[in-house]
Chains A and B, each alone.
Chain A
Amino acid sequence: MKSFELYDATSVQEAVALLSKFGPTSKVVAGGSDLVTGIMKDWVRGKGMPYPEKLIDITTIPEMVGIKVANNALTVGAATTLSSIVDSADIKKTWPILSQSAESVASPLIRNFATLGGNINQRPRCWFFRGENFACYKKGGDFCFAVTGDNRYHAIIGGELCYIVHPSDTATALLALNAKATIAGPSGQREVPFDTYFTGPREDVLRENLLKHDELLVNVTVPQPAANTRMAFFKLKDRQVYDFALCSVAAVFTEENGVWKDGRVVLGGVSPVPYRAKVVEEALAGKNIKQAAKDAAGRIRTVARPMSLNGYKVDIAVGLIERVLTSALV
């Protein structure tokens, strides 16, 4: 790995100023489990992805670390560790799927330094993207090797040009919880709903969210769930020990006497962005959830477009959606 300069930012403004000053070869770092021990260690770079030379540490910014519950909302600083989220009694009680999704990430050792912001903004796990010898679109190259290569872990929904899947478990839960992201940049801070935070390859294949190189995620705000809200999360991995999601499902919905009123069903590990399964939600509207779950889950087939080796993921998604919907009712 190449050496780098490390800057300890003491405020969000200072971090933004450093990013603006140093340009695209500077990156924000918190736990560094993906950036330093993944991207940089493995020399993941290309024409559209310069190797980081300057890292701006944001764990030294007090306002970016911590969990607060106020005004009927939860706010988690982007530099808060996943372990802190798992250990939070407030989160476990009111937003249990955020706690579960954080706990499903990696190992306890990694969760002790990996952060929420890092988990949301981590780069994809596509083995061609991570491989040094593949000049893929996501690195500024001119080919998607997954289209005609081994694509068993790639996108089954929404892939185009590039077929990565979004790797974040917490992002899946946060989108289902209707969370908002606070983004800081040279022109100040702005709030963006998670519905529009993630961007697909058509918008810009070089990134997975709307953060520009001189912007950073400051915190995430999650509203208090309405009365009669049910929620559940499940992540399926290819192996028993820690791994990324083959498919994960988060469901958050309100119901009355078992009938779906309103809610969200979100899938991770199947699409270039955390995927909100509106076809499933529409199929559940006004219906008895237990009775409609199987048919509604099957609706995901209408939007799925599997590749040559990953058709099995469609069956998994259908099964998991049904499982999560029914388990939320228990």
Chain B
Amino acid sequence: MSQNETTNGAEVSRRDFLKQGVAGVVALGSIGLGASNVLNRAAAPELQLSQGVVSPDPALCIGCLTCEVICSQVHKDHGLSDVPRIRIFNDGRVELNAELVKVYGDRGHFHQSPCLMCPEAECLRVCPANALVVEPKTGARIIDEKACIACGRCSQACPFPVQVESKATNQTVFGQHSRITYDPKKNVYTKCDLCNWRPEGPACVERCPVNVRIRQGIIKSDHLCLELPKASREHWDQQSVADRKQNA
């Protein structure tokens, strides 16, 4: 079942049924399906690691918002929610890369908040509708919008909060609290899926203008503004520490 298939009436009923069921269980206590998934986590099979994880370097970010908007655009064009999966926040604590300042001046200080494609993926474990799955080709943890019942457990389970949205560079409010965001237009939650249907890979990594200029040799840097390394537990440990620090 592809993510962008149109939802039909029968499936809406199933979603509503599941959602109501989950709401009832949550009201009664913490013995819902998701909770039992969490309790059984130790026994759950190990997840396939993601083939890529968007790894930003805030020191190279010029806050142009290309990643954010192109994320919305490619997902919308693919029939998915157009809520951006990566957000940019103003962050005066970021020390800019000296080469970047030399080439483009002081554009401001920003940090990026992408999904870290957690090896353990709490979001996936708590979903009562099995809407969160590992996409087999890329290993990305994705939300099947057709199966999502918009209960919000995945967003609550995500261990990586985002800054308050008043600090969002584009000043748009999406009601975002973690790397998984509710889209009221489609009544689904949404998260980074590594643009798994695109042969070019994630649009943010491909289109980031700083990445383009680094690849062209115009900006001298031994790494990109948005890298896409293969996920590993060691990398996740490092990235999560840095991420928590910038969102503290």
Interface residues of A (CB under 8 A from B): 142-144, 147-148, 159-161, 163, 201-202, 205, 303, 305-309, 311
The answer for the CA separation of A3 and B103 in the assembled complex, in Å, is 43
Contact pattern, B 162-204, Cβ under 8 Å of A = 1, otherwise 0: 0000000111100000000000000000000000000000000
Q: Contact at A161–B213, with CB atoms within 8 Å?
A: no
Residues of A within 8 A of B107 (CB): 306-308
Residues of B within 8 A of A201 (CB): 69
Q: Contact at B212–A160, with CB atoms within 8 Å?
A: no
Q: Contact at A147–B171, with CB atoms within 8 Å?
A: no
Interface residues of B in 44-91 (CB under 8 A from A): 62-66, 68-70, 72-73
Residues of A within 8 A of B170 (CB): 160, 202
The secondary structure that dominates the A interface is loop
Partner of A308, one of B66, B69, B104: B104
**B127 in the interface (beta carbon within 8 A):** no
Query: A147 with B105: in contact, given A160-B170, A202-B72, A205-B73 (CB under 8 Å)?
Result: no
**B108 in the interface (beta carbon within 8 A):** yes
**Closest Cβ–Cβ distance, residue A307 to chain B (whole Å):** 7
**B32 in the interface (beta carbon within 8 A):** no
Q: Contact at B108–A161, with CB atoms within 8 Å?
A: no
Partner of A305, one of B63, B69, B105: B63
Query: A144 with B64: in contact, given A161-B69, A305-B169 (CB under 8 Å)?
Result: yes
**B22 in the interface (beta carbon within 8 A):** no
Residues of A within 8 A of B62 (CB): 147-148, 308
Q: How many contacts A-B (CB < 8 Å)?
A: 53
**Closest Cβ–Cβ distance, residue A73 to chain B (whole Å):** 33
Query: A160 with B105: in contact, given A142-B207, A305-B169 (CB under 8 Å)?
Result: no
Q: Contact at A161–B66, with CB atoms within 8 Å?
A: yes
**B209 in the interface (beta carbon within 8 A):** yes
Residues of A within 8 A of B212 (CB): 143, 148
**Closest Cβ–Cβ distance, residue B197 to chain A (whole Å):** 17
The answer for the CA separation of A63 and B63 in the assembled complex, in Å, is 46
B-side interface residues, number (CB < 8 Å): 25
Residues of A within 8 A of B210 (CB): 148
**Closest Cβ–Cβ distance, residue A169 to chain B (whole Å):** 25
**B218 in the interface (beta carbon within 8 A):** yes
Q: Contact at A202–B69, with CB atoms within 8 Å?
A: yes
Residues of B within 8 A of A147 (CB): 62, 64, 66, 209
Q: Contact at A160–B108, with CB atoms within 8 Å?
A: no
User: Whose C-beta in chain A lies nearest to the C-beta of B203?
Assistant: A142
Residues of A within 8 A of B69 (CB): 160-161, 201-202, 205
**Closest Cβ–Cβ distance, residue B176 to chain A (whole Å):** 15
Residues of B within 8 A of A311 (CB): 105
Query: A148 with B63: in contact, given A143-B209, A303-B171 (CB under 8 Å)?
Result: no
User: Whose C-beta in chain A lies nearest to the C-beta of B212?
Assistant: A143
A-B contact pairs, 22 of them (CB 8 A): A142-B207, A143-B209, A144-B209, A147-B66, A148-B62, A148-B103, A148-B104, A148-B209, A148-B210, A148-B212, A160-B65, A161-B65, A161-B66, A161-B70, A161-B73, A201-B69, A202-B170, A202-B172, A305-B63, A306-B107, A308-B62, A308-B104
The answer for the CA separation of A160 and B209 in the assembled complex, in Å, is 12
User: Whose C-beta in chain A lies nearest to the C-beta of B70?
Assistant: A161
User: Whose C-beta in chain B lies nearest to the C-beta of A202?
Assistant: B69
Q: Contact at B105–A309, with CB atoms within 8 Å?
A: yes
User: Whose C-beta in chain A lies nearest to the C-beta of B65?
Assistant: A160
Q: Which of B65, B104, B107, B210 has the largest count of A CB atoms less than 10 A from its CB?
A: B65
Residues of B within 8 A of A161 (CB): 64-66, 69-70, 73
The answer for the CA separation of A197 and B172 in the assembled complex, in Å, is 18
**Closest Cβ–Cβ distance, residue A131 to chain B (whole Å):** 17
**Closest Cβ–Cβ distance, residue B73 to chain A (whole Å):** 7
Interface residues of B in 102-116 (CB under 8 A from A): 103-105, 107-108
Interface residues of B in 206-224 (CB under 8 A from A): 207, 209-210, 212-213, 218
